[in-house]
Amino acid sequence: MLSQSDSNNIVGTKDAAEIPVPLRGRAYARTGPRALVPFQCAWSGAPFTTEQQMRSVGVHPFGFLANAADDDTAETFAPTPDRSGHSNWRSGTGSSDQNGGGGEPVTQLEVLVDVCAEAARAMALPLVRRPWLEPLAEVLPLDDVIRRVPAQQLTQDPGRIALVGMYDDPENQAQQAAVVDLEVTGGLVVVGSGGSGKSTLLRSLAVGLARQGGANAVQIYALDFASRSLDQLADLPQCAGVIAGDEAERTTRLLTVLEEEIAQRRTALADARAENLGALRRQTGNPCFPRIVLLLDGYSGFHSTFDRTDRFRWITRFQQIVSAGRQVGVHVVLTNDRRLGIPAALLSAIGARMALRMSTPEELSQLGVPSKVAKDADLPNGRGFLHGSTEVQVACVGTDPSALGQSQAIGQVVERLRAVGTPQASQLPELPATVPATALAPTVAERLTAPLGLVDMSLATVTADLRRQNMVVLGPPQSGKSTAMVTIAQGLRATCGPDVQLCVLASATSPLRDLDVWDDAAFTHDDHAGVVERLAGMLVGDAGRDVRAVLFVDAAEDMEGNDVVKPLEALAKNDRVRMVVATEAPLLSKAYTGWLSHFRRNRTGVLLQPETKNDVETGLGIKPDLRPDQEFPPGRGIFVANRRWQLVQVAQPAPADRLHTEGTDPLRTAGHPWHASSPSTNLTNHVEQWRNINE
């Protein structure tokens, strides 16, 4: 023994600690209160010589009261010589004399084991129950984990149980499935160094969730700020989107969707008097809402992307989603290469921890692994500690842990899911760059209103309302201002009918020239004065209250001369006339006097392709909270009405409603996609699909 105290604890004396080190096998046995017997242990590893090899070995019952010499049931077994005349102890592992001078000599223990095994076969003895199982394999197929989980546990509340891997249960002499109850823990934090198996865990977890139910019960989103290894999940029917780390706008769009989803579910749970989504499902007997699991691979990458003054609010909003999502069935599983890179707010909101291989034992200890265990831990890829002390082998999809093998295995899972008719989850809503007028949903046709385009996120139809105020269309050249004017004019003609006159002042190159909706029009400077004079004359002596005309001006910077400007100022003040004016934002912001100053105070309109938030504030009086890296193709802008802003894509008029030919529109001949003439059937179907979902 190493110490006298250890020796005294076992045999009641310190003698065992005084045995010289060279005396291997020397020991003391306490056989009674006063009997301390020193003895030398036999060496079972001694070579089994050729002479001894042919001797028979007796097999006798063993027990404290058994006497092998007097036992009539004793049987004798001897090794069977092979064709060469040598015995068959451990074929291929015999002594140097037996196998031609090669290999290690057979030991007496090996001979004894072989004889015992041969005796058991000859006597047809049943196999004894092993006190331990085989060690956990370093490559653990996900199917082996699923077989160890009761099917009812996975199907009664799909998406609630996250399959992680398998762990040894020595007390019950079994190997159990390692799972995480997402409703209880809120999610899972996985920490490990590079190559430790974090991405493999996320892929396996996603496939395990997908095998629990369809898209109506489980939905998966993935944010890949690490190695782009989650792209393989995009084909899963339950996957609603895989977003790369360099797609900041799509990332924040997803967070916005989750915020709105959480708010909607909170209301539903409150109305049903249910404490969480699981209770609501038990109460109604159906999924109600799909459980949403957000996989974030590489939190440090996410944090560094948004750790800027103008973006930091998205980190806070993400933490709020993690905290508020547990109750309503929105869960987050995130990975990182170290614990210190994860804010305390996230660690307190997520109750489950998975610690994979780390660089130092101290880092494992910070994740709740006992110091003694962390010091001696030798973790292969995919091996870690769940909840601090449970050693778990992470499952992988299929039997090949390589990237190619994982991709092929996931592809096979996708084929099986589609073969049984699993529908595809609705993808993340995205505002299309081109919206044909035919894609706009029919709205209630109120007088002096016109459908303008689609609203971001909801993809609902936004309406230009001229019943109480005028409207401005702002933007730089080639931003789609004239196209927006055409869309509004066509919508007004459909809702107003002939009782409201539509008039236009524009240049000879304006697309408004080719519409047939005008009651009076002028497309040269010399004709502008005549239109405003006739319009002013129509209103003289009219004591009614209804709007009699709508005047379109494209563009304000082209209106010159007192014979035009003075009447326009009078018309801008007249409640019987509505005006839709296109101009550039800097010109409007400097219009402190004159007829255009009335529109500066109006604060109602659309600003296309703004360069900064300040442009919107200068032109329309509101500073929008835009997502980072927000794209503004032609026709996209900020629509402001009633002091509220919306990101919109202006609809492009259908070709059937346009009278001009390809050669008459200079913007279309420039080949810009915003002015393309053919609508997209696929886009129309896409918009209709999302509109039905939101309804």
Map 546-590 to HEC letters.
CCCEEEEEECHHHCCCHHHHHHHHHHHHCCCEEEEEEECHHHHHC
Instruction: Judge contact between 695 and 464, C-beta under 8 A.
Output: no
pLDDT for 671 equals: 32
- Kindly report the average pLDDT of the chain as a whole number: 85
Summarize pLDDT for 296-352 with one digit per residue, the tens: 999 999 999 999 999 999 999 999 999 999 999 999 999 999 999 999 999 999 999
DSSP state of 635: T
CA distances from residue 201 to 192, 198, 208, 386, 603 in whole angstroms, order as listed: 11, 5, 10, 12, 52
pLDDT for 219 equals: 97
CA distance 662 to 660: 7
The segments of the chain whose pLDDT lies below 50 read 52, 65-66, 68-69, 81-87, 90-100, 656-695
Query: Coil, helix or strand for 104?
Result: coil
Instruction: Judge contact between 555 and 512, C-beta under 8 A.
Output: no
Summarize pLDDT for 416-428 with one digit per residue, the tens: 999 999 999 999 9
pLDDT for 70 equals: 53
Q: Which of 576, 592, 584, 588 is nearest to 611 (CA)?
A: 584
Give the list of residues 6+ apart from residue 497 with CB closer than 8 angstroms, or none. Answer: none
CA distance 351 to 188: 7
Instruction: Judge contact between 259 and 317, C-beta under 8 A.
Output: yes
Give the predicted TM-score (pTM) of the model: 0.76
pLDDT for 172 equals: 82
CA distance 563 to 527: 11
CA distance 263 to 455: 19
Quickly name the fold that domain 143-354+399-419 has.
Answer: Rossmann fold (3.40.50)
**pLDDT over 90, % of the chain:** 62
Domain ranges of the chain: 143-354+399-419, 437-694
DSSP state of 47: B
Q: Is 396 exposed, middle or buried (0-12, 13-18, 19+ CB in 10 A)?
A: buried
What CATH number belongs to 437-694? 3.40.50.300
Asked if the domains 143-354+399-419 and 437-694 are classified in one and the same CATH topology, the answer is yes
pLDDT for 670 equals: 32
Give the list of residues 6+ apart from residue 552 with CB closer than 8 angstroms, or none. Answer: 485, 488, 489, 502, 503, 504, 505, 506, 512, 579, 580, 581, 582
Summarize pLDDT for 360-408 with one digit per residue, the tens: 999 999 999 999 999 988 899 999 999 988 999 999 999 999 989 999 9
Report the residue count for the chain. 695
DSSP state of 107: B
